[in-house]
Amino acid sequence: MSFEFSKIKKYVSKAKKLANMPPNLATPGIMADKLIEDFSTVPGDYLHLTVKKAATLPLIKAVDNEDGRLLILFHNCDLYGVEERPIVLIGKGVCFDSGGYNLKHSNMHEMKFDKAGAMSVYSVIKACKNQDFPRPVIAILPLVNNKIGSSQTFPGSVITTTLDRTVEIRDTDAEGRLILADAIETAQRMFNPEIIVTVATLTGSCANALGEHYTGMFSNLIDCPDVTRNPLSTMVFASEKAKDPIWPLPVNKEHVKNLKKSKVADIMNYNKKECGGSSAAAFLAYFIEDTPWIHLDIAGTAWKDDEATGRPTALLLTWLESMVKEGN
């Protein structure tokens, strides 16, 4: 089987345009409505999207109990039959990140770009729909604002997730990993994914380590015996082909162990003693249950000179093409 996306640049531009939107015009509610309307213009199955309110999602609710939500978009999925397992793409959609009670202290205007992961994933599933990509794909977009205010979660709070894991929120500015964890639990509980890819402007540490050229890549597939034939190496080749550079960084049990030192919960969302990019990835890894997983930390690459770059849209589209060609 062979499949190629045309007009990749068009989808990169779309992701850019959405990520550039100012926070007053791109609240979670406004963005959800906008994306639903845009996605509905493409003819397809009736059941092509669903929206879950924050009330049913404990970690999303802990970050934004007013406007938070989870948007789920489907392409080519037969949700009632036993069909091919879907590729699940999860994008962090923090429409504005003030840090919450752990308030940020510099360059806060840039935090409108904290939704770039979700906007890139949206653009990718729109391309799949427009061009009839031959495999099932699900996009899961947690959309929130991380604000300050009397109803915001205090550092030290303990939240119980849908699957009864307990999380101590040590730092309210480490909110991206919380909303992604809710999305990961939802994906595994409902969709039996073949693979999960998380895309997020997740850590300043990753941006500091790799600069603005390389997206950080983490995965539980690195130790896979046949590493040359797995979706991770396909991602590396796609990166070269798309000229959308990535660089591997480690995530392992030691990083997870460091987050399990909470005295009041199963895991904490932040422990300053550990390297930030790997630690954030480890938090996500804790929620992944034997599902192949690739995590792209785009904190250094999602915007440049006050403008979104649209990355990693080209990478993801090229990777999806390769997943079809190689029969992965």
Q: Give the residues lining the site for Zn ion (CB under 5 A).
A: 97, 173, 175
- Shortest distance in whole angstroms from residue 102 CB to Zn ion: 8
In the complex with Zn ion, the residue whose CB is nearer, 175 or 185, is 175
Given the residues 61, 135, 177, 311, select the one marked as catalytic. Answer: 177
- Shortest distance in whole angstroms from residue 164 CB to Zn ion: 25
In the complex with Zn ion, the residue whose CB is nearer, 61 or 135, is 61
In the complex with Zn ion, the residue whose CB is nearer, 21 or 180, is 180
Given the residues 104, 147, 165, 241, select the one marked as catalytic. Answer: 104
- Shortest distance in whole angstroms from residue 173 CB to Zn ion: 4
Q: What angle do CA 7, 13, 16 make, to 5 degrees?
A: 150
- Shortest distance in whole angstroms from residue 176 CB to Zn ion: 6
In the complex with Zn ion, the residue whose CB is nearer, 111 or 187, is 111
Residue located via tokens 């994906």: 187
104 an active-site residue?
Answer: yes
The residues carrying an active-site annotation are: 104, 177
